[in-house]
Amino acid sequence: MAEGSTNGSQANVPAAPSVADNGEGGSSPKLRGLDGNPQGHVGPLLWQSFRDAVAHLHAVSLPDPSEEARFGLSTRTYATPKRC
């Protein structure tokens, strides 16, 4: 997730192309996304990578340090078309 993590640890969380929907709701067959963390990994390394990745944009914290073990995140991103 985060490149150049400040604490030297980095979660190895793969991303995978999203599956196009069959047209009955959800994603357009023409719109392909990228799903981050499709396997649903959780834990301290994921939290630390997420925190390091967004630290320059947002201040993030957990209510209690013990929550790191339960931290999970999944995302879907889409490329937007260029406008001329």
Q: State pLDDT tens for residues 3-30.
A: 333 444 556 666 666 665 444 555 555 6
The number of domains in the chain is 1
Tell whether 10 is covered by a domain: no
> d(Cα 50, Cα 2) in Å, to the nearest integer?
7
Provide the residue range defining the domain that includes 38.
15-78
Residue 4 lies in a domain: no
pTM, whole model, 2 decimals? 0.52
Residue 8 lies in a domain: no
Where residue 67 falls among pLDDT bands split at 50, 70, 90? very high
Q: Taking the chain, what is the end-to-end CA distance rounded to the nearest angstrom?
A: 31
- Tell me if 65 is assigned to some domain: yes
Would you place residue 2 in the very low, low, confident or very high pLDDT band (cuts 50, 70, 90)?
A: very low
Residue whose pair of structure tokens reads 């993030």 in the numeric block: 60
In a domain, 27, yes or no: yes
Please indicate, yes or no, if residue 57 is contained in any of the structural domains.
yes
Q: How confident is the model at residue 80 (pLDDT cuts 50, 70, 90)?
A: confident
In a domain, 2, yes or no: no
Domain presence at residue 71: yes
